[in-house]
Amino acid sequence: AQKVTQAQTEISVVEKEDVTLDCVYETRDTTYYLFWYKQPPSGELVFLIRRNSFDEQNEISGRYSWNFQKSTSSFNFTITASQVVDSAVYFCALNYGGSQGNLIFGKGTKLSVKP
């Protein structure tokens, strides 16, 4: 079965704290893609990152970093020194070769960053 699990439904932190959002995926395919999207209160989906299954290199973009570990089927997202503007729902998603191209989403993690 192809599946994405975001076990954390809601997380609340105080500004400047670091926070990690967990994502665990399941797929039998050897070629697949993993994504993170941000959905702010305004409702649009904002693309954050895409990673293919052959590239396990971790990535850093400003305060955002991603840790991809095939051994544990995880693709975790860390926000360093969180800010109020980071408050949003974050979705992890999986695309695999057999899916005809569609994305399988986790249920999302709602992050609240308080001043």
Partner 1 sequence: NAGVTQTPKFQVLKTGQSMTLQCAQDMNHNSMYWYRQDPGMGLRLIYYSASEGTTDKGEVPNGYNVSRLNKREFSLRLESAAPSQTSVYFCASSERRIDRELVYGYTFGSGTRLTVV
Q: Which of residues 61-90 bind partner 1 (CB under 8 A)?
A: none
Cα–Cα distance, 53 to 87 (Å, whole number): 28
Stretch that binds partner 1, among 14-22, 58-66, 79-87, 105-113 (CB under 8 A): 105-113
DSSP 27-78: -S-SSEEEEEEEE-TT---EEEEEEETT----EEETTEEEEEEGGGTEEEEE
Would you say 19 and 11 are in contact if contact means Cβ atoms under 8 Å apart? yes
11 touches partner 1 (CB under 8 A): no
Q: Taking CB under 8 A as the rule, does residue 36 contact partner 1?
A: no
Q: Closest CB to partner 1 among 43 and 115?
A: 43
Nearer to partner 1, 19 or 92 (CB): 92
Token readout for 13 is 């932190």
Between CA 1 and CA 65 the distance in angstroms is 28
Per-residue contact flags (x/-) with partner 1 for residues 16 to 35, judged by CB under 8 A: ---------------x-x-x
Binding site for partner 1 (CB under 8 A): 9, 31, 33, 35, 37, 43-45, 47, 50, 52, 91, 93, 95, 97, 100-103, 105-108
